[in-house]
């Protein structure tokens, strides 16, 4: 199951990361629309993080190096999702600051690094 999660993270992180870089202005609009939707927008954003994080943790719960990085990422996604669902006004405040184009580009680079790390875990054959 850990290899399936590593494939999931490699594929999704690389695709979304490249999208963040190439389509940053569109991502800014997505977050603006989610913010304008109010609490339902915060819930939608949080639900995506919670679902993806839960999938990662359910299939990749180990803490051995190098896979522990992916497990930690899953728990951080769960935390982000839980905060958004339990404190949507706090999530909306964060969304109100409005991500910038450079912010999405940096985020895209970080996502690509996560995808590359998942690829490294697959390549090395050592999972967490």
Tokens of 74: 């899953």
Q: Identify which of 59, 49, 52, 60 has the alpha carbon closest to the alpha carbon of residue 86.
A: 49
The predicted model scores a pTM of 0.87
**pLDDT for 127:** 63
The model's pLDDT over 18-75, given as tens digits with 9 standing for 90+, comes to 999 999 999 999 989 999 999 999 999 999 999 999 999 999 988 888 899 999 999 9
Question: In total, how many domains does the chain have?
Answer: 1
Res. 97 pLDDT band, cuts 50 70 90: confident
**pLDDT for 99:** 75
The model's pLDDT over 65-91, given as tens digits with 9 standing for 90+, comes to 889 999 999 999 999 999 999 999 999
- Residue ranges in 23-100 assigned as alpha helix (H): 24-36, 39-59, 68-86, 88-96
**pLDDT for 128:** 55
**pLDDT for 95:** 85
- 9: containing domain: 2-124
- What are residue 64's phi and psi, to 5 degrees? -85, 145
């Amino acid at each position: 199951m850990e290899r399936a999660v590593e494939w999931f993270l490699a594929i999704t992180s690389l695709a979304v990361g490249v999208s963040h870089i190439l389509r940053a202005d569109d991502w800014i609009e997505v977050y603006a629309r989610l913010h304008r939707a109010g609490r339902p927008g915060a819930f939608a954003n949080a639900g995506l993080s919670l679902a993806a994080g839960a999938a990662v943790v359910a299939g990749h719960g180990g803490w051995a190096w190098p896979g522990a990085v992916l497990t930690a990422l899953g728990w951080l996604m769960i935390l982000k999702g839980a905060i958004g669902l339990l404190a949507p006004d706090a999530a909306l405040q964060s969304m109100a600051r409005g991500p910038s184009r450079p912010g999405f580009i940096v985020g895209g680079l970080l996502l690509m690094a996560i995808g590359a790390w998942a690829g490294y875990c697959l390549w090395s054959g050592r999972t967490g």
